[in-house]
Amino acid sequence: MTFADFMETALFDTEDGYYTTRASLGFEGDYVTSADLGPAFGRALARGVADLWVAMGKAPTWDLVEAGAGRGILMRDLLGALERERPDAARGARPAIVEVSPRMRAEQALALEGRDLRWASVARSLAPIHGVVFANEVLDAFPVHVLARTAEGVREVFVGEENGALVEVLRAPSAADLRWRIPESVPVGGRWETSPAAAAALVAGYVVLIDYGGDETELLTRQGAGTVRGFAQHRLIADPLIEPGLHDLTASVDFTAIRRAAEGAGLQLVGTSTQREVLVALGIRESAARPSTPIEQLRAASRRSAIDALLDPNGLGAFKVVCFAKDAPNEGLRIFGGVRTESPARYP
Ligand SMILES: C[S@@+](CC[C@H](N)C(=O)[O-])C[C@H]1O[C@@H](n2cnc3c(N)ncnc32)[C@H](O)[C@@H]1O
């Protein structure tokens, strides 16, 4: 099978896939995301989302869709912050989650208990979406085709079996168009990963994507080395073929390909930035007055160190944030450092 099929099976097979049977997120699990570091991340994003709602003309009802919600804590924190800080926006929000894993859905249902929320397996079935779609660390879980430039031409990585072990096999690409996806400058011996599935998931509205990866130029500085890797209990697993289904598999996101696909689907690029710049622009550092009791001071110190981790320029702070718009203003948004004055509601 192609490496993309292997990754799809290892992650999502209904009986043995990692996300279906054993995905464990958070400090006790295999890996943490920004949402695990406390509510500051969701609160900052809630401000960004409220801005997008204002830019859309303060629609009385609007969709707030998270794709790939993991444990559901980002949606929980974001909705909670929206209700506290922007009840005008929260009132008409129709939250929904696009999630493929029944196991993850069960965790999300627990985190979001008591809320009126819809679930879907593909974004398409929530159409027409009018509002904001966001995804944090989801595109990196989309299966990738791995292409290799060899002296004989472009080949694709397939997974085969040899003496009871899984091994890589190089063959002609499984689809004709894959051959053209590897940039000219990838040298002989170099590799390139491409994910047609990622493109198909983009929908109309504002789409905010946060993930690790880079644009094509940044990825090319890796000299054609692949990025596919696994994670189990916070340890890196360099060989992705080992013990499929028992650990997470992920690949850095090619944001140039995402932009091409989004623009091909009629979306316009609003901006790209880093998580650090976006969270600072959304006021993640603005805090209340210094607490007076020692225990509150301790809590505040722990919140500050979580925020430092979210902003770490060599860690989570370096993640990319990219936003696309369809039939909605794409200038002056605070998440990209713009200043937009609130105009009167389009809807009374
Ligand atoms: C790394 S977790 C991210 C969790 C969450 N967004 C966070 O910030 O903590 C990836 C999530 O995306 C889900 N997922 C992966 N591929 C998906 C797809 N094609 N459609 C919907 N959900 C997907 C996984 O089941 C999991 O819940």
Say which CATH number the domain at 40 has.
Answer: 3.40.50.12710
Torsion-angle region of 231 (φ positive above 0: left; ψ -120 to 50: alpha; else: beta):
beta
68 C-alpha to center of ligand 1: Å? 3
The minimum-distance atom of ligand 1 relative to the CA of 34 is 8
Of all residues in the chain, what percent carry a pLDDT higher than 90? 66
The reported pLDDT for the residue numbered 347 is 39
Give residues with Cβ within 8 angstroms of 270, minimum separation 6: 206, 323, 324, 325, 330, 331, 333, 336
- Evaluate whether residue 162 is within a structural domain: no
Angle at 94 (CA atoms; ends 91, 100), nearest 5 degrees:
150
**Per-residue pLDDT tens over the stretch 150-203:** 999 999 999 999 999 999 999 999 998 899 899 998 999 999 999 876 544 445
Mean pLDDT over residues 204-233, rounded?
85
Interstrand relation of 206-211 and 213-214 (parallel, antiparallel or unpaired): unpaired
Mean pLDDT over residues 206-221, rounded?
91
152 C-alpha to center of ligand 1: Å? 37
Number of domains in the chain: 1
- Evaluate whether residue 63 is within a structural domain: yes
| Nearest of 98, 82, 100, 81 to residue 90 by alpha carbon | 82
- Evaluate whether residue 322 is within a structural domain: yes
Reported as a pLDDT band with limits 50, 70 and 90, residue 346 is: very low
Of all residues in the chain, what percent carry a pLDDT higher than 70? 93
The reported pLDDT for the residue numbered 182 is 92
339 C-alpha to center of ligand 1: Å? 32
Site to probe by mutation for ligand 1, drawn from 21, 65, 112, 138 as the one with most ligand atoms within 8 Å of Cβ, is 138
Site to probe by mutation for ligand 1, drawn from 31, 100, 144, 195 as the one with most ligand atoms within 8 Å of Cβ, is 100
The minimum-distance atom of ligand 1 relative to the CA of 19 is 25
137 C-alpha to center of ligand 1: Å? 7
Q: Using the structure block, give the residue that is written with the tokens 């094509």.
A: 216
With beta carbons less than 8 A apart as the criterion, state whether 101 and 12 touch: yes
- Evaluate whether residue 167 is within a structural domain: no
Mean pLDDT over residues 323-344, rounded?
77
Q: Whose C-alpha lies nearest to ligand 1, atom 12? A: 68
118 C-alpha to center of ligand 1: Å? 16
Dihedral (CA of 230, 231, 232, 235) sign: positive
Which amino acid is located at 128 in the chain?
P
- Token pair, residue 42, equals 């969701």
SS3 track for the chain:
CEHHHHHHHHHHCCCCCHHHHCCCECCCCCECCHHHHCCHHHHHHHHHHHHHHHHCCCCCCEEEEEECCCCCHHHHHHHHHHHHHCHHHHHCEEEEEECCCHHHHHHHHHHCCCCCCEEECCHHHHCCCCEEEEEECCHHHCCCEEEEEECCEEEEEEEEEECCEEEEEEECCCCHHHHHHCCCCCCCCCEEEECHHHHHCCCCCEEEEEECEECHHHHHCCCCCCCCEEEECCEEECCCCCCCCCCEEECCEEHHHHHHHHHHCCCEEEEEEEHHHHHHHCCCCCCCCCCCCHHHHHHHHHHHHHHHHHHCCCCHHHCEEEEEECCCCCCCCHHHCCCCCCCCCCCC
The minimum-distance atom of ligand 1 relative to the CA of 201 is 19
The reported pLDDT for the residue numbered 344 is 44
Distances (CA, A) of 102 to 98, 99, 123, 279: 11, 8, 16, 31
- Evaluate whether residue 61 is within a structural domain: yes
Q: Whose C-alpha lies nearest to ligand 1, atom 8? A: 136
The reported pLDDT for the residue numbered 198 is 55
Rounded Cα distance, 270 and 333, in Å:
9
- Evaluate whether residue 258 is within a structural domain: yes
Mean pLDDT over residues 313-319, rounded?
95
Which amino acid is located at 66 in the chain?
E
List the domain range (segments joined by +) for residue 297: 32-143+198-212+252-336
- Token pair, residue 169, equals 């096999």
Q: Whose C-alpha lies nearest to ligand 1, atom 13? A: 68
Q: Whose C-alpha lies nearest to ligand 1, atom 23? A: 68
Q: Is the pLDDT of residue 233 over 90?
A: no
Mean pLDDT over residues 133-147, rounded?
94
**Per-residue pLDDT tens over the stretch 9-68:** 999 999 999 999 988 899 988 889 999 999 999 999 999 999 999 999 999 999 999 999
Give residues with Cβ within 8 angstroms of 75, minimum separation 6: 42, 66, 69, 95, 97, 108, 111, 112, 117
| Nearest of 112, 126, 124, 125 to residue 42 by alpha carbon | 112
Rounded Cα distance, 34 and 275, in Å:
10
141 C-alpha to center of ligand 1: Å? 7
- Evaluate whether residue 166 is within a structural domain: no
Cis peptide bond N-terminal to 244, omega within 30: no
69 C-alpha to center of ligand 1: Å? 5
- Evaluate whether residue 180 is within a structural domain: no
Ligand 1 pocket (Cβ < 6 Å) reads: 19, 33, 35, 67-70, 74, 98-101, 104, 136-138, 141
